[in-house]
Amino acid sequence: MAITAADVNKLRQQTGAGMMDCKKALEESNGDFEKAIDFLRKKGAKVAANRADRDAKEGVVLAKVKGNQGVLVSVNCETDFVAKNADFIAFADSIATIALEKNPANIDAFKALPYDNNITVGDKFMEQVGKIGEKIDIGFYNSVTAEKVVAYNHPGNRLAVVVGFNAAIDDEAAKNVAMQTAAMAPVAVDKADVDTSVLERELEIAREATRAEGKPEDMVEKIAQGKLNKFYKESTLLNQEYIKDNKMTIRQYLQSLNKDLTVTGFKRFSLS
DSSP assignments along 59-79, one per residue:
EEEEEEEETTEEEEEEEEES-
Residue 180: HSE in the Cβ half-sphere, 13 Å Cα cutoff: 31
Q: What is the pLDDT of residue 1?
A: 67
Spatial CB neighbours of 183, under 8 Å, sequence gap ≥ 6 = 243
CA distances from 38 to 22, 198, 220, 239, 240 (A): 11, 12, 18, 25, 24
Alpha carbon distances (Å) from 216 to 39, 79, 114, 262, 263: 21, 51, 62, 41, 40
Asked if residue 124 lies in contact with residue 138, where contact means CB atoms within 8 angstroms, the answer is no
Domain 58-170, CATH class in plain words: alpha beta
The pTM of the full predicted model, rounded to 2 decimals, is: 0.76
What pLDDT sits at residue 91? 96
| Res 46: pLDDT | 55
Residue 64's pLDDT is 98
Note the pLDDT of residue 189.
98
Characterize the bridge pairing of strands 58-66 and 245-249. unpaired
For the chain, residues classed under CATH 3.30.479.20 are 58-170
Confidence (pLDDT) at 98 = 97
Per-residue pLDDT of the chain (272 residues; tens, 9 = 90+): 688 988 888 888 777 677 888 899 899 999 998 888 888 877 765 554 433 333 448 999 999 999 999 999 999 998 899 999 999 999 999 999 999 999 999 999 999 999 987 789 988 888 887 778 778 889 999 999 999 999 999 999 999 999 999 999 999 999 999 999 999 999 999 999 999 998 999 889 889 888 888 888 888 889 988 888 999 999 999 999 999 999 999 999 999 999 999 999 999 999 97
User: What CATH number should be reported for the domain whose range is 1-48?
Assistant: 1.10.8.10
Q: Where in the chain is the domain with CATH 1.10.8.10?
A: 1-48
